[in-house]
Structure 1
């Protein structure tokens, strides 16, 4: 009768939480949190798109043309501004750990960079709390299926 498979409810729950977290991150990154990078060499500020964030680091992408763009060096540091309003941001320092070309769903080629946060910066405390909120939200949030009625409009 039984095929000997044991279902791990904990693993399934963690998988569902991770899916919710990534979905929530996409909404936050696209609608709330702007990220701009500052390259130390010439202080150029340009937008990057955050893909993922964790307590240890983040993954971001930039449009990529292998013929004209230069890769960021593995091990190099860069400054990033995490904007929460049009004019206020939290500065973080990232160390580039890897870079890979990536083909987006839109057909565009991007470079994905995996980075590690410099946790010694005093401003990282705010980022750490924001990241903790995102994890907690994914774990405890409930999906609205439209079943609640509003009586006070």
Structure 2
């Protein structure tokens, strides 16, 4: 009869993924991202966390090609994931790729796709945090000013 069949499961997965990415952006811009830094050779670089998954993360930092060195693929980076102003979770990532990115603000950034070193005991904290973000995206609801609270 019709050539198109709507796959509700796939559509739901797409919606959850979009919700997760939106939640990540809000969280990273307002909470976690403001306190993430790279501790490389005694130099601290503030970064923006763009995306995160169980395998790795996408980070972004301001970049001036004439002045700033590019991190090489395979470089091991120590990161501090701050959850308060004074306490952080140390994680190690390996750079998998880097690309130049022009932000919405018109500034130039380098984005690096990085893979987590899962052998560190502190990765368990990040793994739980990532689990929370995925679960939040799947089960949270948008507040539209409804008077009733619905549970499902």
If the length of structure 1 is used for normalisation, what is the TM-score?
A: 0.93
Q: Please name the residue that 2:37 is paired with.
A: 36
Aligned-partner SS, 2:59: strand
Instruction: List per-residue Cα deviations over 1:91-110 (Å, max 9, x = no partner).
Output: 00000000000111111111
Deviation at 1:148, TM superposition (A): 2.1
Ranges in structure 2 where 5+ consecutive residues have no aligned partner: none
- TM alignment of 1:121-140, pairs within 5 A: 121-140=120-139
Query: Would you say 1:46 and 2:45 are equivalent positions?
Result: yes
Higher alpha-carbon deviation: 74-83 or 27-36: 27-36
Distance 1:137 1:148 in 2: 22
Superposition CA RMSD, Å? 1.3
Deviation at 1:68, TM superposition (A): 1.1
Q: Please name the residue that 1:96 is paired with.
A: 95
- TM alignment of 1:9-28, pairs within 5 A: 9-28=8-27
Instruction: List per-residue Cα deviations over 1:53-72 (Å, max 9, x = no partner).
Output: 00000001001111111100
Ranges in structure 1 where 5+ consecutive residues have no aligned partner: none
Distance 1:31 1:106 in 2: 17
Q: Please name the residue that 2:109 is paired with.
A: 110
Distance 1:88 1:30 in 2: 18
If the length of structure 2 is used for normalisation, what is the TM-score?
A: 0.93
